[in-house]
Structure 1
Amino acid sequence: AFWRLICDTFRKIVDSKYFGRGIMTAILVNTLSMGIEYHEQPEELTNALEISNIVFTSLFALEMLLKLLVYGPFGYIKNPYNIFDGVIVVISVWEIVGQQGGGLSVLRTFRLMRVLKLVRFLPALQRQLVVLMKTMDNVATFCMLLMLFIFIFSILGMHLFGCKFASERDGDTLPDRKNFDSLLWAIVTVFQILTQEDWNKVLYNGMASTSSWAALYFIALMTFGNYVLFNLLVAILVEGFQAEGDATKSESEPDFFSPSVDGDGDRKKRLALVALGEHAELRKS
């Protein structure tokens, strides 16, 4: 009975809105503390940040222990957000213990994952992430199409401009950084053109090394790659968000033809009003 009383008390604490707000505040403060760190900072600031890291890690570990105590191990892992929080806590504790031993400094980068804990407190952001996850199959198909497109234009660029993007310096022939001499560099160059980063320089080099007709290659690459494919990605995402919005709207709108309790009540009210109206007309007649 005493243990049940303790569990009920902890459950009230964990399920209270103040507990969630406190954890959210701790996440925000921890995010700000990670943002003020910089290279060659004073030793006092470094020590203060290390102490704050231990404090926040202990706080998140306490949250994990309370939820394990209240919900149990199986109830805890039923929520994906709890699994994510638990993994972050384990990595953070491991990082602190390893730091005391003089190693595992690479785990410090996992502190940034704590920022994602805010997702559980932001329902709007949760919906956006759910929509993105639902469109992953279409995005994966788009990525395969994009890779095939880049591969085709890379092979075509190797045949058109292979070993032609070069300049002579002191009698030595030096290849340009943006070239089509190998498949790897051709893929890098095509990707750079798709991002519109100095793509006009690659265009001028191609025209100067071959002929003016080389502009057709870059025009086709920019037209179909940048303006068609990337707009297709935007269309996929917009369609996903629109479908989610339509589904949410249809769920929120009342269905007057469904046999719901409210619908039955409304029909009864309308029938009663009609009956009263007919009764009043009969009395007048």
Structure 2
Amino acid sequence: MNALRQFVMDKRFNWFITGLIIFNAILIGLETFPNIYEDYHHYFVVIDIIILIIFALEVILKIMVLRKSFFSNPWNIFDLVIVLGSVILYSTPFVSVLRIFRVLRVFRTITVIPTLRRIVAALFMAVPTISSVLLIMLIIFYVYAILGTSFYGDIAPEYFGDIFLSFVTLFQIFTLESWASGIFRPIFAEEPWSWLYFLSFIVIATFIMINLIVGEIVNNAQKITDDIEEDTDEIKEDTNEIKELRKEIREIKEMLQDK
């Protein structure tokens, strides 16, 4: 069992699985080209089955080694659901669902690369704050949508004809996609003071709010990194203490042997 644990927990095994996930992702991408997929359909199917078998064996080995602790890690459960779903649905008529599971295998890259797991964890930790920011953004969108409909509904009805169109227009402005030439300048030609409306919305919604979200995610990522460093320092201290104890035990043994 110790040999099996060393094999499963070895970095080389982890990198092999990572490489296999990346290869599987490339394979799924190549299947979107009809000419390639039709010419090599048999090879695609065989390789996909081999990859799925290896993924299934990996999960089984991890369960054998980790046992109950395997299910305490959400990432392991995520791997188990994807692999189990792929195995169950492989020979069923639910092809569309199977394709979803096959594409979801790409997400297993997150589970095997610690830095990616850290970023995703930081994102989930920021969800409460992001929800509050999104609520503020919704209020800002709503206020500006009403103002846009009131001020520019007659000038540009295709953009601000009603509150729904105003929301769609504001979202386009929010993404900074062709807002100046497509939306702003025609209205600015009719209403010179419209620049206050557009620029204030961009500064508040795009720059300030997005920076709040990004800042929260970065702060959480830094917290996770600090926690990992603290745990690493504790492990190093424990290791040093163990080394010192071993050294003292060796000295005591030598003293006893001399006597």
| Range of TM-score over shorter length | 0.7 to 0.9
Comparing 213-222 with 184-193, greater Cα deviation is found at 213-222
Q: Which whole-Å CA distance do the structure 2 matches of 1:253 and 1:16 have between them? A: 22
RMSD value, Cα: 3.0
CA shift, 1:244, in A, is: 4.2
Q: Does 1:203 align with 2:194?
A: no
Partners of 2:7 and 2:116 lie apart in 1 by: 25
> Gapped runs of 5+ residues in structure 2?
235-239, 245-259
Q: Which moved more, 1:25-34 or 1:15-24?
A: 15-24
TM-score normalised by the chain length of structure 1: 0.70
**For residues 69 and 232 of structure 2, what CA distance do their matches in structure 1 show?**
30
Amino acid at match of 1:220: S
Looking at both structures, which has the greater relative contact order when contacts are Cα pairs under 8 Å and sequence separation is at least 6? 2
Query: What's the counterpart of residue 278 of structure 1?
Result: none
Instruction: Check if 1:213 corresponds to 2:193.
Output: yes
Aligned residue identity for 2:77:
I
| 1:85 lines up with 2:79 in the alignment | yes
Q: 1:105-254 residue pairs with structure 2 within 5 A?
A: 105-166=96-157, 176=158, 179-200=159-180, 201-208=182-189, 210-247=190-227
Change (3 A) 1:50 1:183: farther
Tell me by how many angstroms 1:17 deviates.
Answer: 4.6
Distance (whole Å) between structure 2 residues aligned to residue 131 and residue 252 of structure 1: 19
Residue aligned with 1:197, SS: coil
Residue 50 (structure 1) aligns with:
45
CA distance in 1: counterparts of 2:207 and 2:174, whole angstroms: 9
| Distance change in 2, residues 1:215/1:130 (3 Å) | same
Equivalents in 2 of 1:81, 1:195: separation in Å?
33
- Tell me which moved more, 231-240 or 196-205: 231-240
| 1:142–1:251 distance in 2 versus 1, CA, 3 Å | same
Provide, for residues 244-272 of structure 1, a one-character-per-residue CA deviation record: whole Å limited to 9, x for no partner: 45555666679xxxxxx96xx9xxxxxxx
CA contact (8 A) 1:193 1:199 kept: yes
Structure 1, residues 153-207: CA drift from partner, whole Å, max 9, x if none?
Answer: 11111111224325xxxxxxxxx3xx11222221110011111111112112323
Distance across 2 between alignment mates of 1:163 and 1:80: 54
Is 1:63 the equivalent of 2:43? no
Q: Give me the TM-score of the superposition, normalised by structure 2.
A: 0.76
- Is the 1:155–1:183 Cα contact (8 Å) retained in structure 2? yes
Matched residue, 2:252: none
Distance of aligned partners of 1:115 and 1:213 in 2 relative to their CA distance in 1, 3 Å threshold: same
Give % identity.
28
Give the aligned residue type for 1:145: I
Q: Which has the larger radius of gyration?
A: 1
Cα distance in 2 for partners of 1:250, 1:16 equals 23
CA positional deviation for 1:70 = 4.4
Q: CA deviation at 1:8?
A: 6.6
Choose the corresponding residue for 1:34, options 28, 35, 41: 28
In 2 relative to 1, CA 75–106 (structure 1 residues): closer, same or farther, beyond 3 Å?
A: same
Change (3 A) 1:205 1:130: same
Deviation string for 1:114-155 (max 9, x for gaps)? 222223332222222222222222122111111111111111
1:215-264: CA deviation from partner (whole Å, max 9, x where unpaired): 2211221222222222222332333344445555666679xxxxxx96xx
Whole-Å Cα distance in 2 between the matches of residues 82 and 106 of structure 1? 21
Query: Which structure: greater helix fraction?
Result: 2
Task: Report the 3-state secondary structure (helix = DSSP H, G, I; strand = E; otherwise coil) of the residue aligned with 1:91.
Answer: helix
Alpha carbons 2:160, 2:166 under 8 Å: kept: yes
Note the residue ranges of structure 1 that are not aligned, 5 or more in a row: 1-6, 167-175, 255-260, 266-285
SS at match of 1:212: coil
Change in CA separation of 1:249 and 1:221 when aligned onto 2, cut-off 3 Å: same
